[in-house]
Structure 1
Amino acid sequence: MFHKEGAPSISLGIVFTVAVLLLADKFIDIYWLRMLVQIFAVLFLIIILQFFRNPKRAVLTNDDLILAPVDGKVVVIEEVYEGEYFKDKRLQVSIFMSPINVHVTRYAMNGIVKFSKYHPGKFLVAWHPKASEENERTTVVVENDTFGAVLYRQIAGALARRIVNYAQEGMQVVQGTDAGFIKFGSRVDLFLPLGTPINVVLNQKAIGGKTIIATKK
């Protein structure tokens, strides 16, 4: 399965690959060179297809858990000041996605969307300390009775040029379902209430909708 946001890129990739294969076969007489060009064209299409893959995952929803919103590596676990919505200290957990990770964003918890805002911005590398405040990003707050309000932020990276966010204020959202997509490299930050028990460690691999990030107190 492929994510619907990949349809334009996949279509262009197929057209480009077919065109290269046909043109190379017609105009390149040197066998090894023709094969090299055609192999690169096929590899290009494979890269696009794997980037937009959208594996279906059975998620057992649980109001007592915060699940990973994306696939990737846990790169930050620290207490920080969150200045956009809460304007106080929160526990930040950040997951970095490389270009080879699945880039679907999933809701980390059940609840109601209280806030959703898009911010245009820079395209610093996703692990840059200022990326959370200066890069193109979306900020979404979901609230439920167990954890209260939890904020997650989709952050574009150096290669990302489009963030897709489906969350709208007032929506009732279901843990593990599709919340959006970030194209070509990025990061997602979670901001949890202080004292929330964290279930992951730095450099741990996270799987969206599967890995338990935090549990209730």
Structure 2
Amino acid sequence: MLRQELQTYFDRVYPFSKIDTEHTLGGQVHIRFELGGEELENGTEERVKQSTDRALTIFNETFTDPTHEIFILIYEYQGENIFNATNNYLHKQFPDDRFTKFYIQLETVNTRYFTTDENGNDVLEKDEVRIIIGKLSVKDINVKNILNGIANTEMGFDPGIDQRIFFFDPTTDKAFQMYDDRGCYVWSDKADKIRDIYIKRSDWIVEYHRPEIEEYFKL
């Protein structure tokens, strides 16, 4: 089953990553890139275009072989979202005959937020989330539409994508997530696996996080 296959991969390469706890996803080494930038005004097509173009460039430099099969992990939180984005648009960015074979299941997952129990202890909140897991070649994913949809969402443009989506290449141990128009992450288990992206796209690194990121790549 795809869920088990992905979690087994996490256990081997990213041992702290758990599918049922989204905020644990990540690698031992990460780079945070700025996409929209402070110079471009919110709610403008120019900002969406730059965010999409930069994200697509970084994605293509992370997953350089279009024939590689990569994992796609999607979290769909239930109920209407504040941006009125529909879930179906993201689903359509994968071939129909492949999407029907994805793992799709409602699960109770841990969130990043805490409540306090009767003893005063912090307890992770839980939420019902539809988890979708697929595995297919990079070339079979309409990546540009996905990244543009993510960039659109908070800017109020259509079509928007409000789901959380992560990409993992089990061959190269590189991963990518664009969280919104502001930025994206690339990560791996070892610095040398993503050093080329760090060097090539250094100008796009979020300045606030640069000292932490540069520590990973010291020789």
Per the normalisation by structure 1, the TM-score is: 0.28
Structure with bigger helix share is 2
Structure of greater relative contact order (alpha carbons < 8 Å, 6+ residues apart): 2
Per the normalisation by structure 2, the TM-score is: 0.28
Structure possessing the higher radius of gyration over alpha carbons = 1
